[in-house]
Amino acid sequence: MADIIQLLPDHVANQIAAGEVVQRPASVVKELLENAIDAGATHIKLILKDAGKTLIQVIDNGKGMSVTDARLSFERHATSKIKSADDLFQLNTKGFRGEALASIAAIAHVELKTKQEQDEVGTCIVIEGSEVQSQDVVVTPKGTSLSVKNLFFNIPARRNFLKSNPVETRHIIDEFHRVALAHPSIGFVMYHNGSEVFNLPVSNYRQRIVNIFGAKTNEKLVPVEEDTEVLKISGFVGKPEFAKKTRGEQFFFVNDRFIKSAYLNHAIGSAFDGLLKDGAHASYFLNLTVNPQTIDINIHPTKTEIKFDDEHTLYAILRSAVKHSLGQFNIAPVLDFERDANLDTPYSYQQKGTPSVTVDSNFNPFAEEKTVSNTSSTVSSSNTSFKKTPAANWENLYVGLESKGNNIQQDFSEVHFESEQQNASIFEDKKIEQKQSTYQFHNKYVVSTIKSGLLLIDQNRAHQRVLYEDFLKHITVKEGMSQQLLFPLELHFSPQEIEIIKQLQSDLEHTGFVFQKIEKEHVEITGVPVMVPESEVSIILEQLISDVENEVPDSNFSATDLLAKSMAKSLAIKTGQSLTAVEQEHLVNSLFACKAPSVSPTNRTTFVTMTVDELDKKFV
């Protein structure tokens, strides 16, 4: 039998490696930015065209490469960062595998220009699909310029899997944020299709956060500092009142490398326990410095996951440090036994003693009582007031009542009062008129009877369906009703969130929103849809931005469909909300007036039926 195992050609092996290293344009951006940082650059420029599909160019002023190094950098497993296996546990650099440039060159057109400071001229290398096309001498400034063009040009299937340009751009911006936040001492500039997106000067960590996420972020930050033998923590956490329903502003950096860790994220959540609303997530920008020998960063192709030697200790220190900062800056309640108890007393009562009550011992409530005179014992229909005269004894009030009982009863018969019997009859009539046909169960389900049995409706999903079709109709017909606000509503967002709002502005206006102005970091709204309360506007827009950032548009028919779903999800009746009988009836009627009442906008069941036969079987 012939041999069937053979060595793969280099270009095939590189394409397979590229499948792990290069998943999308954002992966290329990450690798090139990290290489520029390792080269000692103090200023890095990122240039994009068509969300990186056409061009990704990174220009730095680092130390550059020699002619030999420039050629070797595109070989597999060629790196200047490590020399032995032991170096993997003493890493202080970014790229160390030597696969990035080889993988990128296997699936794109790459042009490298580089020059060291002591050289007079630099080197230019052009590679297409792992094949070197040319290597020439070129005049170029100190540093390196690497251009990646036509990504996945030789793998059409991989290119077809890429998302739309806005989605790919957001992934690139996420990677750009992670690198820029970890290195505030380096200046970064980003251009996309000729327009400047970010211009981040050299600054401290707080200024870098503000420059990326907007000036309004400055007032939201609480500093966190802790230095132990095991772990050093520095950075900021967001105040609880500014917590969002999304996880967009959560950053862990270990030795200046961005990581994802559900375990450490839980430590932050534990420190904020009792301070956040349901469904809200705290923001944090934390730098963790540990001994490189206690971590392994070589367990994931993208190096975003790290294995720690002692995670439990890190968890305890991180949780304690964040909790201490929240208490120190009066964000969280602190138990202090040395506190003066008088501080708990309102200032207006500080100089006041205990209130005293005085009683008049000579007061007699019956001293001024008046008795009923003989002439006033008769009550006429025109005047029912009694004339009272002073009585020596209160018992005289009842003198003569027995003899005049019939007369008084006769006179009082002319005054009409509602009797108990009449009240009962009115109550019974009212009960019949408001006969309830629906019932709410556990403030979650609406139960209604039908001819064949019972109908159980999920109130949240049902209301989502009703609102979804309503919003969809308004957007399509472009006749959304708007209510004007007495005062303009000003909301603050980060620059990238503003860009998303601009993309959806026309559709939002068709639902009833009226934007007075949309600027770099805030928007002014003068009108909202009729059914949207003013207090819910910021929640709706945050939810909408979150849906767009999480690639929801690619799973829907259009941005219009996304908008309708997002607004319906934000405004729908929540589980646990009590409904009146009228509201329950209206919800049931509105649901079955929809075109697709059986499913929610996210294709989840809105109601179930239980027939009489099924109920009978339960009692067998």
One-character DSSP codes across 60-98: E-S----HHHHHHTTSTT--SS-SSGGGGGS--SS--SS
**How many C-beta neighbours within 10 Å does residue 577 have?**
14
> Is a pLDDT exceeding 60 seen at residue 478?
yes
* pLDDT per position as a tens digit, 59-81: 999 888 888 888 888 887 666 65
Element housing 311 (H / E): helix 311-328
Q: Please say whether the beta carbons of 462 and 498 come within 8 A.
A: no
Confidence band for 84, pLDDT divided at 50, 70 and 90 = low
Query: Which is nearest to 249 in space by CA: 273, 270, 280, 274?
Result: 280
Query: Residue 527 is encoded by which pair of tokens?
Result: 């009108």
What is residue 371's predicted lDDT score, i.e. its pLDDT? 47
Confidence band for 339, pLDDT divided at 50, 70 and 90 = low
* pLDDT per position as a tens digit, 262-293: 888 899 988 888 888 777 888 899 999 888 88
CATH of the structural domain 10-200, one choice from 3.40.30.10, 3.40.50.12780, 3.30.70.3150, 3.30.565.10: 3.30.565.10
> Given phi > 0 = left and psi -120 to 50 = alpha, else beta, which region is 613?
alpha
Query: Residue 618 is encoded by which pair of tokens?
Result: 């339960």
Query: Hey, CA dihedral for 90, 95, 100, 101, is it positive or negative?
Result: negative
Q: Please say whether the beta carbons of 33 and 179 come within 8 A.
A: yes
Q: In the chain, where are the structural domains located? A: 10-200, 205-328, 370-412, 445-609
Mean pLDDT rounded to a whole number for the chain: 79
Mean pLDDT value of segment 175-197: 92
Q: How many Cα atoms sit within 13 Å of 311 on the Cβ side?
A: 11
The string of DSSP letters for 119-142 reads -SSEEEEEEETTEEEEEEEE---S
CATH of the structural domain 445-609, one choice from 3.10.20.340, 3.30.1370.100, 3.40.1410.10, 3.30.1490.20: 3.30.1370.100
Give the strands of the sheet with 55-60, arranged side by side: 131-138, 122-128, 109-115, 143-149, 55-60, 43-49, 187-192, 195-200
Confidence band for 380, pLDDT divided at 50, 70 and 90 = very low
Tokens 């001293």 belong to residue: 367
Q: Residue 297 class from Cβ within 10 Å (0-12 exposed, 13-18 middle, 19+ buried)? A: buried
Task: Give the whole-angstrom CA distance, residue 592 versus residue 585.
Answer: 11
Higher pLDDT, residue 473 or 607: 607
Q: Please say whether the beta carbons of 151 and 56 come within 8 A.
A: yes
Angle between helices 165-182 and 205-213 (to 10 degrees): 170
Mean pLDDT value of segment 291-296: 79
CA dihedral 290, 294, 298, 304 (to 10 degrees): -40
CATH T-level topology, domain 205-328: Ribosomal Protein S5; domain 2 (3.30.230)
Query: Which is nearest to 304 in space by CA: 187, 204, 182?
Result: 182
Q: Please say whether the beta carbons of 45 and 59 come within 8 A.
A: yes
Query: Residue 175 is encoded by which pair of tokens?
Result: 């990677």
**Any alpha helices (H) in 135-246, and if so which ranges?**
156-160, 165-182, 205-213
Query: Which is nearest to 114 in space by CA: 137, 146, 138, 144?
Result: 144
What is residue 170's predicted lDDT score, i.e. its pLDDT? 86
Of 42-46, 146-150, 197-201, 304-308, the poorest mean pLDDT is in 304-308
Of 279-288, 347-356, 448-457, the poorest mean pLDDT is in 347-356
The string of DSSP letters for 263-324 reads HHHHHHHHHTTTTS-TT-B--EEEEEE--GGGEE--SSTTS---EES-HHHHHHHHHHHHHH
- Cα angle at 167 between 605 and 36, to 5 degrees? 140
pTM to 2 decimal places: 0.68
Strands 187-192 and 43-49: parallel
What is residue 426's predicted lDDT score, i.e. its pLDDT? 46
Confidence band for 402, pLDDT divided at 50, 70 and 90 = low
Confidence band for 236, pLDDT divided at 50, 70 and 90 = very high
Query: Which is nearest to 547 in space by CA: 606, 608, 503?
Result: 503
Task: Give the whole-angstrom CA distance, residue 221 versus residue 284.
Answer: 9
Q: How many Cα atoms sit within 13 Å of 71 on the Cβ side?
A: 8
